[in-house]
Structure 1
């Protein structure tokens, strides 16, 4: 059993061949797909995906930091309405992104903090998006840290020291295609990170691993990530999948 802890299967990029994408993933052993939210505009697509693949799709709910704009409080109200209405497996993806736009930093910080507090109230994990914002994300995690705060640091791209800090806040590291990049850097220190702190992800359709870099990513390519971890940790493919899937169960409770 392989678990893709982060994939946007509702993306428009899969509209022409979503069924084939799912079949390819299941053929190589991916049986669990955890689906992060972006904003209210994708909700119908997420629900349709869950309806069509109910045995393997697990939805999250949250407001992505790049969707934090002038109307972010309205979007947060939408998130709150849904997490009060039905079951989700995490609050995510949430966080801070200063790569595309720094104009809404205060609003992103506010949205991140509020959603962390909701996660603690609901006893749910969080899934963190962090881009060019490690200091800002860690500042809020330091404020909010507690035994009830846990989750995944999605698409981890930081240093060894930042990895240790993320783990100290009860976060697993989401490892995907970046680990296979020549300039990805994290492969240089990953062996120093205990596998109990790692989960697998693709972030499909984004961040396809080598040799597909620059093309549309999909969940079946997760085997390229596993192969890289086999080289790094010098253990079997099966051991990687068993440990990381158990880690995902520990986070999501399913």
Structure 2
């Protein structure tokens, strides 16, 4: 299995990262994709990648929640990194209107700019959206029409939203939310082809049942796969095989 979205470089793992990685490998996780947040986390993220070549893969981007007064400087740093070395994707980027709408216009500007960079560099994007699903889909449409590909990370929306996304040629990142009793996500996914899904944890966040409320980690990906196996009425091994192939198709490595 592949964890397409995890923040294992966070402080939550500083005391037991080796053990967390070992537990994930034991249940069959072979690759870990690390989304960028802002410049404060770049170094620790890249250090984790460097310590595990061929297993950990870094992205580069500015998370919408960190689009603040200094967003132009942050974007300049993102572009500097993109010009300095290869990355597997631009992410996580997008729109988030949950906490604060002060920088709505700047979020759109940062999102558009980073999507254009992805197109220019022929890279996929990894999208964060919260309280902004339709706005995010509309923002992506003109770029998808030009061939932009990527993942709507931590998808928890409706079937209608899911269909719009896969019709654009993008994928849905499915994590712990699919195991939540009242999420409604299993019903939304029933008519979405497995070939448009990838697995993720978003560790340390959004821990699946039965560990909800505790720190999430990549080894818990097995609970996501088991729930999807139930939704699609296939064996968990089939979920692992198809979602792994999907992830490799998106990231190219």
Q: 1:147: Cα distance to partner?
A: 4.3
Q: Within 2, Cα distance between the matches of 1:226 and 1:143?
A: 32
CA contact (8 A) 2:162 2:188 kept: no
Q: Within 2, Cα distance between the matches of 1:102 and 1:96?
A: 10
TM-score norm. by structure 2 comes to 0.98
Alignment pair present for 1:219 and 2:218: yes
Q: Within 2, Cα distance between the matches of 1:161 and 1:235?
A: 24
Alignment pair present for 1:241 and 2:240: yes
Task: Specify the SS of the correspondent of 1:30.
Answer: coil
Alignment pair present for 1:37 and 2:36: yes
| Structure 2 equivalent of residue 5 of structure 1 | 4
Q: Deviations over 1:73-118 (max 9, x none)?
A: 0000000000111010000000000011111100000000000000
Q: Within 1, Cα distance between the matches of 2:65 and 2:72?
A: 14
| Unaligned residue ranges in structure 1 (runs of 5+) | none
Aligned counterparts, 1:159-198, within 5 A: 159-198=158-197
| Structure 2 equivalent of residue 109 of structure 1 | 108
| Structure 2 equivalent of residue 204 of structure 1 | 203
CA contact (8 A) 2:127 2:152 kept: yes
Q: 1:223: Cα distance to partner?
A: 0.3
Aligned counterparts, 1:114-129, within 5 A: 114-129=113-128
Q: Within 2, Cα distance between the matches of 1:96 and 1:210?
A: 27
Q: Within 2, Cα distance between the matches of 1:219 and 1:184?
A: 21
Q: Within 2, Cα distance between the matches of 1:143 and 1:247?
A: 23
Q: Within 2, Cα distance between the matches of 1:31 and 1:104?
A: 38
TM-score norm. by structure 1 comes to 0.98
Task: Specify the SS of the correspondent of 1:111.
Answer: helix
Q: Find runs of 4+ consecutive structure 1 residues off by over 4 angstroms.
A: none
Q: Within 1, Cα distance between the matches of 2:53 and 2:134?
A: 38
Task: Specify the SS of the correspondent of 2:212.
Answer: coil
The range that moved more, 134-143 or 165-174, is 134-143
Number of aligned residues = 253
Q: 1:231: Cα distance to partner?
A: 0.7
The range that moved more, 15-24 or 230-239, is 230-239
CA contact (8 A) 1:149 1:169 kept: no
Q: Within 1, Cα distance between the matches of 2:182 and 2:60?
A: 32
| Structure 1 equivalent of residue 151 of structure 2 | 152
CA contact (8 A) 2:39 2:77 kept: yes
Q: 1:238: Cα distance to partner?
A: 1.0
Q: 1:142: Cα distance to partner?
A: 2.2
